[in-house]
Amino acid sequence: MPRLSIYLTILALAVAAGAQTPPPVAAPADTAMQRVIAQVRQVLVAPREPAFAQVLVGTEVLRDPRDTSFYDIVVRFDPERFRDPHLSRYPLTFEDQFVLWGKRLALYSQVTPWKAGRFYLHEVSSGRQAWVALPDARLLFPAYGTPPRAKTFSSWLPYIHNAPRATEPRALGLWLRLMEEESRESVLYQWRATVPDTVLPADSLGGQ
């Protein structure tokens, strides 16, 4: 009996020690990156744009390995997700979507504390993909009218959403000439074929 009581005492102490050991903590989320991705979604989809909310599949902000001071914005959408009792099909073409969202991201990139590199658009249902350099997009669609004085996201978001949707033919032609029908994977594959393997930093926007 004394030996049994010793075993029970040891077992009780071990259980108590286990209860006091904190559970493993998951790696903290990159809140800065989460905030930026949420901002990109807000830029693409205004509050009264249910069609855009339906077709938007996902957004990513990824460091450009060719110049790690820049970040690419990758947007995926699927017009097959569009549902409207009055329209049978999604009303915008790939080109229309590309230019409209490209305009908004061009304005947004003027107030980000980080450098925006390229805007990639991927239509999931067809597999079609294209990109444009956002510095070029800013030249095609500079700030219009009277932009807000404060270069903050909250002050610029309504300004971005109120940007003119129409694009004059000459400007549209320039957009389409600058639109490269190529995936980000293809761009990076070609780049990696010409440079040695490089260890890349994480896709973090913390502290920038």
Beginning with the edge strand found earlier in the chain, give each strand of the sheet holding 56-63 in spatial order.
56-63, 70-77, 115-123, 129-133
pLDDT tops 80 at residue 173: yes
d(C-alpha 15, C-alpha 21), whole Å: 10
| Lowest mean pLDDT across 15-19, 63-67, 164-168 | 15-19
**Could you give the angle at the alpha carbon of 130 between the alpha carbons of 124 and 131, nearest 5°?**
130
Beta bridge mates, 71: 63, 116
> Average pLDDT, stretch 26-44?
85
Global confidence as pTM: 0.83
Identify the residue whose tokens are 């995936």.
183
d(C-alpha 34, C-alpha 205), whole Å: 9
The answer to whether 102 and 132 are in contact (CB under 8 A) is yes
Instruction: For residue 77, name the pLDDT band (cuts at 50, 70, 90).
Output: very high
Percentage of residues in the chain having pLDDT higher than 90 = 73
